[in-house]
Every structure is written in structure tokens, then in C-alpha cells.
């Protein structure tokens, strides 16, 4: 589904039911994919660069980023948008 078709579907549903608003759709979008990408790709890459450059700041930042995002992935369930 392209972005154009998705936007049309959202606005069509809002026209059908005036109680819906664009804010209700925006609340359903989560940052879960970005957190998973940070845990699986960015944090290990930063840790590797910190190890290869012997930079303690990068190593500390990578471990904090990994811990922070893993905590939110484990504690908050992802929100899914269901197609009608």
C-alpha cells in the first residue's frame, strides 16, 4: 500500500465517521521499528566503532542506547494499524 493510497483511506474514513480525526490515526503510530533498528543495527555499529577507535564515549553511548531502547521494547507493546 502506497502512502498516497493510505492517506486517501484515512481521509475517506474520517468523512464517513465525523467523530474520527487525523489525530486518532497519528496516535496509533509508534516508534517501535526505530527502536528495533537502534538495538539491532545502530548500537552494535557504534560499539564497534568505539572499540576500533578506542573511544570510551562511543562505547558508553552505545551501551546506554542499547539498554534504553531494549527496555522500552520489552516494556511497551507495539501498536498495530489494522487495515479494513
pLDDT higher than 60, residue 27? no
pLDDT tens-digit map of 63-73: 999 999 999 88
pTM here is: 0.60
- Exposure on the CB side of residue 76, measured as CA atoms within 13 A: 15
C-alpha cell of residue 56: 570510551
Q: Where are the domains of the chain?
A: 1-29, 31-77
Contact 58, 47 (CB under 8 A): yes
The rounded radius of gyration (Å) of the Cα atoms in the chain is 19
pLDDT tens-digit map of 33-55: 888 999 999 999 999 999 999 99
C-beta neighbour count of 31 within 10 angstroms = 13
Separation CA 81–CA 84 (nearest Å):
10
Amino acid at each position: 500500500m502506497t502512502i498516497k493510497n493510505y492517506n486517501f483511506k484515512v481521509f475517506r474514513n474520517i468523512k464517513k465517521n465525523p467523530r474520527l480525526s487525523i489525530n486518532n490515526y497519528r496516535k496509533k503510530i509508534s516508534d517501535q521499528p526505530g527502536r528495533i533498528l537502534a538495538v539491532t543495527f545502530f548500537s552494535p555499529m557504534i560499539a564497534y566503532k568505539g572499540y576500533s577507535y578506542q573511544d570510551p564515549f562511543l562505547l558508553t553511548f552505545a551501551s546506554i542506547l542499547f539498554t534504553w531502547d531494549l527496555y522500552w521494547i520489552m516494556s511497551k507493546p507495539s501498536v498495530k494499524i489494522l487495515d479494513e
